[in-house]
Amino acid sequence: MNQLFVRAGNFMSSFVKEEDGAQVIEYALIIAVVSIALVIALQGLTTGGYFTTFITRVAACLQGNMAVCNP
């Protein structure tokens, strides 16, 4: 019974000291912040202008409207 408590104590102390899980959480937070920044930064591209025109032309070309495909 004493060995069980010793093993449990060793497991808990190694679990507390292990930092691999913390690194995964840090990477996830970095990815989340970068993703939010990209969404905010690229939001201006979708509100009109050249990018929207380009995407509309690509969609028309993919649907077979060849008159729009040739500039």
Tens of each residue's pLDDT in the chain, 71 residues: 677 767 777 776 766 566 667 788 889 999 999 999 988 887 777 676 777 788 888 888 888 877 777 76
Q: How many angstroms separate the Cα of 33 from the Cα of each of 2, 41, 66? A: 47, 12, 41
CA triple 59-60-62, angle to 5 deg: 65
Q: Which two tokens stand for residue 71?
A: 């500039």
Q: What is the pTM of this model?
A: 0.42
Cα–Cα nearest to 55, from 42, 64, 46: 46
Q: How far apart are CA 58 and CA 69, in angstroms?
A: 7
